[in-house]
Amino acid sequence: MAEQVPSRPPSRTVTRVAAAVVAAVLAGGAAACGPKDAGAAGGAGAAPKKGGTLTVLNSEPQTNFDPARLYTSGGGKVPTLVFRTLTTRKRADGAAGTQVVPDLATDTGRPSKNATVWTYTLKSGLAFEDGTPITSADVKYGIERSFAPELSGGAPYLRDWLVGGDSYQGPYKDTAKAGLRSIETPDERTLVFHLRKPEGQFPLLATQTQFAPVPRAKDTGTKYEEHPVSSGPYKVVSNTGDGERLVLARNPHWSEKSDDQRHAYPDTVNVVSGLDPAVINQRLATGAGADAAAVTTDTNLGPAELARIAGDPELKKRVGTGRFGYTTYLAFNPKVKPFDDPKVRQAIAYAVNRQSVVNAAGGSSLADPATTFLPNQKVFGYTPDDPFPAGKTGNPEKARELLREAGHGDGLTITLTHSTAKNFSTSPEVATAVQEALKKAGITVKLAGLEDNAYKEKVHGLKDEPGLFLGGWGADWPSGGPFLAPVFDGRQIVKDAANFNHAQLDDPAVNHEIDAINQLTDLTAAAERWGALDRTIGRRALSVPLFHPVYKRLYGKDVKNVVISDWDGVLDISQVAVK
């Protein structure tokens, strides 16, 4: 399973969150191939120039092309070309790209002393694609319409964070036209947000597309996605097949003077989706016609493709490598025997052969072994740690010793639930690797493979949650909060909907620490605290981290200025040039 959730109260967020990261992980990502590398691959290091047509070849259609319904956060995919937000990520490679920077706003926000009030000022001279000035009222309205039930699907945090957000139903049912009183617009350039609780990470939240301005007069409700009004460098010329084919052209009223993060080199962007991943990679490798100036934002290279590319020096130059913050792990439900015994959980942690699991996930080119729940990136608070050190191939003897102490000297039989889908993290191959490793420690593992939808329903249903299953978690933004809070905050246990606190942990000390960290507006200090909390929770053996994915992506031979950050691991098409 692949989930991606932030720190927030539970129930309303989880379904779309899960889907968001399922897509992210199925697609993979790439990072750390910088502009200089891309210049060499795309034409003797020539400086990027404006002009030409960029083609985007994707497997998943860009459905719901409405800022209220999109589940994106400061990344480099297609929406960032059309929708600007209060803040965004810094458009830089690798770790440098995990920083939050101003976008429509003059800064990343000014918090009150306790971080419950955040104030933003819009830059001057901002305009929509028709030349109409962008005002604070447009940003406020864009946020408000994201609360409408008919426009659901976007990031859920504002519903939980804003005062009155839990009961607001959007502007279409707001007959009094009162709007959300927790968002004030004292003048045309100022927004003031009032939160229910301290949230030091509000600038990271403000990268979500729900913060894109929408002019009330141009809002067409559920049809808005057909022609959303652009605040970014490109406008939608056509949207056919519910995002399967998008054609974007320059927005003449966008100015690079007010946007130092996007370059908008190509004249036109053609997005073609619904393609088979193998076809995408073949077209990018061949580079015939328009495919020479093509990229993908959702299709990863697999082991077989990487093996073929390894023998071709020219293709090797066109592979970006990097990471999106994500962890695949074994999830325990301590309410189910024998997983109520910490020694049994520890024994499984010692028995796991991470090398075999990595091999099952595609090999070391596509996965790093994990011993921490937090991804192996500093911005999350990652600190190297291994509470149950078993080396690369496991320690079956230590596992047997713990099993004897737990009263299972004659061995143990357990069931591991997984998905039958080829979804990288919870696949039959990964489950089989775990099964074979645990067998050496005297643990017989019965595999319970379920069709993906049935799998999700079972592992996230509190009443029917299995004792052991394969899980995965990815971040909505690069911070320890979206990793640890949804999974280990007891107040986010969901009884009547999708639950992601698999261990059903409700420890007042953990909950209190999460609240304390959320008050910090110093993100570096917060990261250190998230790392310490990760280590504390890790010693309780509530999960067994298995691996963090490594992403590989191919791009066309005429593509220049490739920038792929660790924020989302996606090639940033706002930076790409084809001339």
Provide the phi-psi class of 509: left if phi over 0, else alpha when psi is between -120 and 50, else beta. Answer: alpha
Residue 535 reports pLDDT greater than 70: yes
Residue 570 reports pLDDT greater than 90: no
Distance, CA of 197 to CA of 481 (rounded, Å): 15
CA distances (Å), origin 457, targets 83, 127, 128, 463, 466: 33, 44, 42, 11, 11
The domains found in the chain, sorted by start residue, are: 61-272 (3.40.190.10), 326-549 (3.10.105.10)
pLDDT at position 460 is 94
194, containing H or E segment:
strand 190-194
370-414 confidence digits (pLDDT tens): 999 999 999 999 999 999 999 999 999 999 999 999 999 999 999
Partner residues linked to 238 by β-bridges: 247
Split at pLDDT 50, 70, 90, the class of 495 is confident
- Closest-CA residue to 38 (of 567, 553, 569, 566): 553
Partner residues linked to 472 by β-bridges: 328
Q: Is the peptide bond before 277 cis (omega within 30 degrees of 0)?
A: no
Of all residues in the chain, what percent carry a pLDDT higher than 90?
A: 81
24-77 confidence digits (pLDDT tens): 333 333 333 333 333 333 344 578 999 999 999 999 988 899 999 998 877 789
540-562 confidence digits (pLDDT tens): 999 999 999 988 999 999 999 99
Structure tokens of 410?
């004659």
pLDDT at position 45 is 56
Residue 276 reports pLDDT greater than 80: yes
DSSP letter for each residue of 455-478 = HHHHHT-TTT--SEEEEEEE-SSS
pLDDT at position 39 is 37
3-state secondary structure of 56: strand
- Closest-CA residue to 470 (of 432, 425, 514, 433): 425
Per-residue burial over 543-576, b = 16 or more CB atoms within 10 Å of its CB, e = otherwise: bbbbbbbbbbbbbbbbbbbbbbbbbbbbbbbbbb
Length of the chain: 579
Cα-Cα-Cα-Cα dihedral sign, residues 138, 140, 143, 148: negative
Partner residues linked to 250 by β-bridges: 234
The residues, any chain, with a CB within 8 Å of residue 318's CB and separated by 6 or more, are 41, 284, 554, 555, 556, 557, 559
409-464 confidence digits (pLDDT tens): 999 999 999 999 877 678 899 999 999 999 999 999 999 999 999 999 999 999 89
Find out whether 505 and 490 touch, Cβ atoms under 8 Å.
yes
pLDDT at position 511 is 97
Average pLDDT over residues 118-124: 98
Residue 7 reports pLDDT greater than 50: no
Distance, CA of 27 to CA of 432 (rounded, Å): 22
CA distances (Å), origin 7, targets 11, 99, 148: 12, 19, 22
Beta strand 367-369 with 110-111: parallel, antiparallel or unpaired?
Answer: unpaired
Split at pLDDT 50, 70, 90, the class of 142 is very high
Pick the more confident residue, 207 or 425.
207
Average pLDDT over residues 213-234: 97
Q: Structure pTM?
A: 0.87
pLDDT at position 316 is 94
Beta strand ranges found along 402-498 (DSSP E):
412-419, 443-450, 468-474
Average pLDDT over residues 246-275: 96
Split at pLDDT 50, 70, 90, the class of 292 is very high
